Amino acid sequence: MAEQVITEELRACIGMQSEPTVIEIEKVMIKRFAEAIEDPNPLWQDEEYARNARYGGIVAPPGFLMTLMMRGPAMELPFELPFTRRLDGGGDWEYFKPIRPGDVLTVVTKLVDVREREGRMGTMVLLVSETTWKNQRNELVAKSCGTSIRY
């Protein structure tokens, strides 16, 4: 059985912030997303339709940000955790502005909490991080908070 999993060293990482990652939003990314979840809403893909709709053009569906998590800044710890397996524990997303193709997002992630839990798979460490998404006009478009489970 693992001894103390949350070491002082790990606890000291709370508050650590990633370098910003820049992501250019392209139409294809949105299209792939809509295709992957099989969401036929024309607002995400049909220029003609979207031009006459509320936003005056294609926007990314709110769930789209979830596909950018892997591209966004990884919360790299300065040392290896004694776990190689990981699961996605879920998260919160808060949306402030629509995201359009052509937007350039700057994304920063911060480690906000570290927790330990005994689960079916043995001892698990939960890394909770908060991510802010800003567009090229420095507007906050979304905030998210996710839990990565390592076991």
Partner 1 sequence: MPKQLYYEDVEVGTELPLLIKKPTPQQLVKWAGASDDYYEIHYDKDFAQSTGLPGTIVHGRLKSSFLVQLLTDWTGDGGTVKKISVQHRGMDFPGEQITCRGTVTKKYVEGDEHIVECEIWTENPKGEKTAPGSAIVALPSRE
Partner 2 sequence: MAEGQGITDELKAMIGTMISEPGILEVERGAIRRYADAIDDLNLLYRDVEYAKKSGYGELICPPGFFGWPIKEGGAMKTLDTFGGPLDRAGFPRILDAGIEYEFFIPVRAGDILTAYTRVADITERAGRTGNMLIVTQESTYLNQNGDIVAKARSMLIGR
Nearest Cα residue to 91 out of 112, 77, 118 = 112
Mask of contacts with partner 1, 132-151, x by CB under 8 A? --------------------
Q: Which stretch binds partner 2 (CB under 8 A): 10-18, 27-35, 116-124, 140-148?
A: 27-35
Map tokens 């390592």 to a residue.
150
Q: Please identify which residue in 24, 39, 76, 88 interacts with partner 2, judged by CB under 8 A.
A: 24
For residues 67 and 63, give the distance between their C-alpha atoms in angstroms, rounded to a whole number.
Answer: 8
102 CB contacts (<8 Å, ≥6 apart)? 24, 25, 26
Q: Are strands 140-150 and 122-134 parallel, antiparallel or unpaired?
A: antiparallel
Mask of contacts with partner 1, 101-120, x by CB under 8 A? --------------------
Q: Please identify which residue in 26, 39, 94, 139 interacts with partner 2, judged by CB under 8 A.
A: 26
Please identify, using beta-carbon distances, which residue of 8 and 40 lies nearer to partner 1: 40
For residues 132 and 89, give the distance between their C-alpha atoms in angstroms, rounded to a whole number.
Answer: 19
Q: Are strands 140-150 and 104-119 parallel, antiparallel or unpaired?
A: unpaired
Residue numbers of the site for partner 2 (CB under 8 A)?
Answer: 24, 26-29, 31-32
Q: Which residues bind partner 1 (CB under 8 A)?
A: 29, 32-33, 35-39, 41-43, 49, 53-54, 61-63, 66-71, 85-95, 121
